Structure 1
Amino acid sequence: MTLTIQFAANSAQWEEYEPLLRDALDARGLDYTLSTDVPPDQVDYIVYSPDSKVKDFTPFTRLKAVLNLWAGVEKVVGNQTLTVPLCRMVDDAGLTQGMVEWVTGHALRHHLGMDAHIQNPDHKWTPKPPPLARERKVAMLGLGELGQACAAQLVALGFDVHGWSRTEKSVNGVTCHHGNDGLIDALTDAQIIVLLLPDTPATTNVINSNTLDLTAKGAFLINPGRGPLIDDDALIAALDSGQIAHATLDVFRIEPLPQDHPFWAHPQVTITPHIASATRPKTAAQVVAMNIHRNETGEGLLHVVDRTAGY
């Protein structure tokens, strides 16, 4: 039977995605039609992004799965009309590599004190070397696919990496913690904190005045995860007091970040415009085709969202 696949992401992406999806689906030997405009009751799979115009899934009566092009699903996971499996974009090599490069780059930037060398208007000569990586504790909050990949790279560089997750996990080379007590253990005396948790009610404001006080004095905070993980006011207070030396932030509660937000003017905040990791169309198309092929051959879908957990 010919599969009907609807591309229901941002319309501007269709021109780029269409040939890549066709190549990936052809490589899997699938019999399909692919379009942006299909009668809902004929659709088997939806290739989706939460900024799509499709919000009501009720008319899609033969729908088998929704394949999200983003890693984040917080904007769609609560949709009561979506009752079929929802799959996250997790196993995208381009997305993962992009996140690893961004996190590693900024972790090394703060570890090596590069800002003081790059921004040195007074031409100060201060021959003080940084500590070695093994002397620096890194707290990786979030040990999903992206968190584990970033943690592995930091371990390879010699950092003392402590990971925290909601449930118990084991990651080679990482001291793993879980639960409320584990969060305290992971953050205590951490000098670099990386946030790669999902946006759920359980993770909202996980970085707050209490958790920030656990870190080493003058720690660095790096957030490429989700904006609501941080209590903004608490972070600004910690920056002003010196508890946190610098925050590098890629994600925010409101995006684009409003021009009057105090983060823009704060000298100890670096803002990047949600670029830490983006879905790469070529590799994302391959993941979509792979998941459709798996489902059609009885192997089962990968990266299905747990609706109760929210990711």
Structure 2
Amino acid sequence: MSIIIVNQGKDVTPWVKALRERRPELSLQVYPEITSTEDVEFALAWNHPPGAFKQFPNLKCISSMGAGVDHILRDPELPEAATIVRITDADLTKDMANFTLALVLNHVRGLSFYKTKEQAKEWKPQPYLRNENVTVGVMGVGVLGAEAALQLSKNGFNVIGWARTPKNIEGVQVYAGDDNLDAFLAQSDVLICLLPLTSETADILNKETFNKLPKGAFVINVARGQHLVDNDLVEMIDNGHLSGASLDVFREEPLPKDHVFWNHPAIHVTPHIASVTNPASAVAQVLENYDRLQRNEPLLNIVSLEKGY
């Protein structure tokens, strides 16, 4: 059995190195340099070319290189026999929690505001918010969202969550289902999107959603760019309903140089770096699923095609 690595446009050397170090005898191929299509039963993928997996007649498992799987599921020609799995890595989870905490603290203490004043050489002290007086709403409390909520709660913020189905997170009230979304939004001084990208969640960060937030609310998107309707965000900031946003993901990446987000004074941009999979840490989980596949055992972190995550 062979593993194929398919990662369009990115250097996969760290993955090859990590796999080779952990399992020197492993049969490994790197797309598009394929030596045998019949041998491939396991694929490790990120942003693969649509239809690329059709050429592997014995493919049984496709593993995402990260927590997200929308890049795999948008391919209409996925092999029906292949199980889709994703990575839930402790380092990945911790990095996301720390990053979201940093963004919320940056907002409540006005650090981005002071950076603009520094550049203009203006001495302009402003009132700031205290953690215990701020309610942070986390949309999507799966593995990443739950850890982010816990980290924020430990740092004194009032934290609430929203999910499609009920969840139990210590110290965090979780609102479940569409019927409870409005109540969740109405309390969220800071809204963090950590939802999986599905047909139901695409464009969920829109004008209708923003209008249900308290006046002056702040938006953080660290999930997928397709969750956000760009023009709606700009409009709601410019009309004063939202105080600003921190964005780490975008519909087009890299973000085009002429995009309005770059020069908007109330929008903080980072280049999709909130949480990056570390191959050295994640490769053990990949190999565990590879071994389970060989032993015909249940795989870890199977993705529901119906739910999209």
Instruction: Report the aligned-residue RMSD.
Output: 2.0
Please name the residue that 1:5 is paired with.
Answer: 3
Q: Which runs of 5+ in 1 are unaligned?
A: none
Q: Deviations over 1:47-79 (max 9, x none)?
A: 2222x3573323322222111113222232143
User: Of 41, 45, 62, which residue of structure 1 is paired with 2:58?
Assistant: 62
**1:35/1:228 CA distance change after superposition, 3 Å:** closer
Q: Verify the 8 A CA contact 1:58 1:81 in the aligned structure 2.
A: yes
1:107 aligns with 2:104: yes
1:148 offset after TM fit, Å?
0.8
Q: Deviations over 1:16-69 (max 9, x none)?
A: 22221123346xxxx63122223111112112222x357332332222211111
User: Of 202, 205, 214, which residue of structure 1 is paired with 2:203?
Assistant: 205
What is the DSSP-based 3-state SS (H/G/I as helix, E as strand, rest coil) of the residue aligned with 1:44? strand
Q: TM-score, normalised by structure 1?
A: 0.89
Q: Verify the 8 A CA contact 1:8 1:54 in the aligned structure 2.
A: no
Please name the residue that 2:227 is paired with.
Answer: 229
1:294 offset after TM fit, Å?
3.1
Distance 1:265 1:213 in 2: 24
Distance 1:12 1:196 in 2: 24
What is the DSSP-based 3-state SS (H/G/I as helix, E as strand, rest coil) of the residue aligned with 2:231? helix
1:6 offset after TM fit, Å?
1.8
1:220 offset after TM fit, Å?
1.1
User: Of 55, 65, 72, which residue of structure 1 is paired with 2:68?
Assistant: 72
**1:289/1:175 CA distance change after superposition, 3 Å:** same
1:39 aligns with 2:31: no
Q: TM-score, normalised by structure 2?
A: 0.90
Please name the residue that 1:252 is paired with.
Answer: 250
Please name the residue that 1:241 is paired with.
Answer: 239
Q: Verify the 8 A CA contact 1:6 1:38 in the aligned structure 2.
A: no
Q: Deviations over 1:105-126 (max 9, x none)?
A: 1111112222344443321345
Distance 1:235 1:142 in 2: 19
Aligned residues with identical type, % of pairs: 32
Please name the residue that 2:123 is paired with.
Answer: 123
1:12 offset after TM fit, Å?
5.1
1:233 offset after TM fit, Å?
1.7
Give the AA of the match of 1:77. Answer: L
What is the DSSP-based 3-state SS (H/G/I as helix, E as strand, rest coil) of the residue aligned with 1:188? helix
Distance 1:73 1:190 in 2: 27
Equivalent positions of 1:58-207 (< 5 A) are: 58-78=54-74, 79-83=76-80, 84-89=82-87, 91-120=88-117, 121-126=121-126, 128-131=127-130, 133-207=131-205
Distance 2:6 2:35 in 1: 10
4+ residue segments displaced more than 4 Å: none
Q: Which runs of 5+ in 2 are unaligned?
A: none
Q: Verify the 8 A CA contact 1:195 1:222 in the aligned structure 2.
A: yes
**1:215/1:53 CA distance change after superposition, 3 Å:** closer
**1:11/1:230 CA distance change after superposition, 3 Å:** closer
